Amino acid sequence: MKGVTTVKSVHRLAQKEVKKVIGLMSGTSVDGVDAALVEIRGHGLETQAELLAFHSHPFEEAVRDRIFNLFQPETSQVDELCQMNFLIGTIFADAVLSVIHDAQLEREEIDLIGSHGQTVYHLPPQMEAHYIPSTLQIGEPAVIAYRTGIPTIANFRVADLAAGGQGAPLVPYVDFLLYRQVNRTVALQNIGGISNVTLIPAGAQGSDVHASDTGPGNMVIDSVMEILTDGRKKYDNAGEFAAQGNICEPLLGEWSRHPFISAAPPKTTGREAFGRQFAHQAIKQAQIQNLGAADLVATLTAFTAHTISDYYHRFLFPNYSVDEIYISGGGSHNLTLMQHLKQLFEPIPLLPIDAIGISGDAKEAVAFAILANEAVHGHPTNLPQVTGASEPMVLGTFSPA
């Protein structure tokens, strides 16, 4: 009977032309949970989305520390992973209730939740990899659905990985729905913990979209700032610390030879490549070079900008003429990083994504609201040319209220 109830619930949701959906996102920076309340009209190419409310629900320091401990395979324990899955689900549910309160709505008015969860490990397919391709996002959707009373769709990455894909990036499908243009080729550059790009050619079909992770975003800068300040600072506010330093060209050159940078797409990356281990190694290298802390952060900021630029020059500019680049994510607030990017991409204009749509801070949470809506309607939402999957897949698993 439970399976029949689930089918009926999905069918009932699919009959609604206009839905209020909450998208939940916790990224690689592990700052907290972003909750976006979105009114969605239609589905597929007819999708229209309006952001009604946005709430950032920070993790308590103790919870954040426990999440970071899960990133270390040599120290993490299965019982802790089990508990954190449910604890994060509870925190995600609290974020849902907070954004509903901010919007002055009742939970009964919300139709659906789409939750990305918190990635703790991601092992995409790679040549000669000695592991089973797999991914794990925690934040138990059954807990979210029960505590909120709202049907929840989660585990968006796994079906793409099951079909041989990288399991990411998944937002490019939504980028195509919302930002495609008839006469202009646009690139949407998100700079979160990891940086990723979606390129939408003028007049594109979904199969024409190009997207990939480009390398680190805020991740290494944040980690180094936290280590250098013994946890007092979690990031370089507005890039002010980097602006005080000088770039070490030898280190910049060495980091730019990282194998991920030259690897051809489809490709994804994360903490396994650019997490705490990379940060600690960068600090050791800086000490050998007799660099000050500001010089190290300045060089890491330049490295982040160069990895983004390098991707465009290797894989996009030989085939596309880009009219504008629209920036979103926390990295857009790092003024030193943005200055590097403007110089590297001149004369192509770099503009905030807010100029053509939804707030850059809310963009990824909004995307998972739309991906949940698409799942209800049975639309495949991975782009095989982007992820490397063998076929289009309907993404997400359903937890009824």
Burial class (CB in 10 A: 0-12, 13-18, 19+), 309: middle
Provide the angle, in degrees to the nearest 10, between the axes of the packed helices 293-311 and 219-228.
Answer: 170
Query: Which of 10-14, 200-204, 312-316 shows the lowest per-residue confidence on average (mean pLDDT)?
Result: 10-14
pLDDT for the residue numbered 75: 73
Read off the pLDDT band of 3 (50, 70, 90).
low
The pLDDT score that the predictor gives to residue 133 is: 94
Q: Look at the chain and count its residues.
A: 401
Please give the pLDDT value at position 30: 86
2-169+363-399 and 171-348: same fold? yes
Write out the H or E segment, with its range, that includes residue 100. helix 78-102
Task: Label residue 398 by pLDDT band (50, 70, 90).
Answer: very high
Confidence of residue 5 (pLDDT cuts 50, 70, 90): low
> What is the structure's pLDDT at 11?
82
Name residues whose C-beta falls within 8 Å of residue 287's C-beta, 6 or more positions apart in sequence.
none
Which pLDDT value is given to residue 129? 83
User: Average pLDDT, stretch 236-264?
Assistant: 97
Confidence band for 38, pLDDT divided at 50, 70 and 90: very high
Give the separation between CA 274 and CA 285, rounded to whole angstroms.
Answer: 15
Work out the pLDDT band at 99, boundaries 50, 70, 90.
very high
347-382 pLDDT tens trace: 999 999 999 888 889 999 999 999 999 999 999 999
Q: For residue 37, which phi and psi values (nearest 5 degrees)?
A: -95, 120
Q: What is the pLDDT of residues 164-191, one digit of tens each?
A: 999 999 999 999 999 999 999 999 999 9
Q: How far is 222 from 274, CA to CA, in rounded Å? A: 11
Q: Does residue 321 have a pLDDT over 90?
A: yes
Angstrom CA distances, 320 to 58, 180, 189, 202, 364, stand at 39, 15, 15, 10, 25
Contact 31, 95 (CB under 8 A): no
Q: Is 294's pLDDT higher than 80? A: yes
CATH 3.30.428.10 describes domain 2-169+363-399: no
> For tokens 């789409």, what's the residue?
114
Average pLDDT over residues 304-313: 98
User: What is the chain's mean pLDDT, rounded?
Assistant: 94
pLDDT (tens digit per residue) in 208-247: 999 999 999 999 999 999 999 999 999 999 999 999 999 9
Query: Which homologous superfamily is 171-348 in?
Result: ATPase, nucleotide binding domain (3.30.420.40)
DSSP 128-141: T-SS--EEEEES-H
Residue 271: which residues within 8 A CB-CB, separation 6 or more? 28, 71, 193, 219
pLDDT above 90 coverage of the chain, percent: 87
The domain limits of the chain are 2-169+363-399, 171-348
What is the rounded CA–CA span in Å between residue 64 and residue 70? 10
The stretch 303-311 carries a mean pLDDT of 98
Which DSSP symbol is given to 35? E
pLDDT beyond 80 at 48: yes
pTM of the model: 0.92
**278 vs 261: CA distance, rounded Å:** 14
152 bridge partner residues: 113, 399
Q: List strand residue ranges (DSSP E) for 42-76, in order.
A: 48-58
Give the distance from CA 223 to its chain's centroid: 17
